[in-house]
Amino acid sequence: RADAGRHPSPNAGPVEAAFAGALGVRLGGTLAYAGRVEHRPVLNGESGREVQSSDIERAVRLSRRVSVLALGVCVVGRMAVGVVAGRSSTGQRRGRA
């Protein structure tokens, strides 16, 4: 939470900071994008270690888990809305009869 606002993107900051914290790594600093060098704030700098190649697999697993969890929440939420909508439409039909 403390580092999310330091990222230049309001959308990517919370996600990158959360991943840095969850993986226990340090993200940011001096980066190169398409030949351009950028200096960004370090996320999770005090407690994180430098990223290693083994962290890529861990990040992919975390991303998959988050995606499955988000899908599950959406499915359960949609089912709950359907149940509530079904109850209210049944009650309306009964009231008219």
Sign of CA dihedral 28, 31, 34, 37: positive
Mean pLDDT of 59-78: 96
On whether both 83 and 42 belong to a single domain, the answer is: no
Residue 63, pLDDT score: 95
Q: How far is CA 59 from the centre of its chain?
A: 12
Long-range contacts of 25-33 (CB under 8 A, 24+ apart): 25/49, 25/50, 25/51, 25/55, 26/50, 26/51, 27/51
On whether both 36 and 63 belong to a single domain, the answer is: no
> CA-CA distance, 81 to 58, in Å (whole number)?
35
On whether both 25 and 63 belong to a single domain, the answer is: no
On whether both 46 and 10 belong to a single domain, the answer is: yes
Whether pLDDT at 1 is above 90: no
The boundaries of the domain holding residue 13 are 1-51
Residue 92, pLDDT score: 57
Q: Is the full-model pTM beyond 0.85?
A: no
Q: How far is CA 75 from the centre of its chain?
A: 17
On whether both 83 and 71 belong to a single domain, the answer is: yes
On whether both 14 and 35 belong to a single domain, the answer is: yes
